[in-house]
Amino acid sequence: MIVNIYIFGMIIIWVSLLLVLSMYKLDKEYPAIMEELSKREARGEM
């Protein structure tokens, strides 16, 4: 019983981790964010 909970619990944790990481978009958006921040800094808005 406890062994089954441990095995299935780890599977559930890994699946949920993979789902969360698959939705992680910051690496794709980072260059656009940095470009916007540098434009704002050049205009003196920061």
pLDDT at 45: 77
Nearest 5 degrees, angle CA 5-CA 10-CA 3? 30
pLDDT tens figures, 5-38: 999 999 999 999 999 999 988 888 999 999 999 9
Q: For the stretch 20-46, what's the b/e string if a residue is b when 16 or more beta carbons lie within 10 angstroms of its beta carbon?
A: eeeeeeeeeeeeeeeeeeeeeeeeeee
pLDDT at 13: 97
Its domain, for residue 30, covers 2-43
pTM above 0.75, yes or no: no
Q: How confident is the model at residue 40 (pLDDT cuts 50, 70, 90)?
A: very high
Domain count, the chain: 1
DSSP 29: H
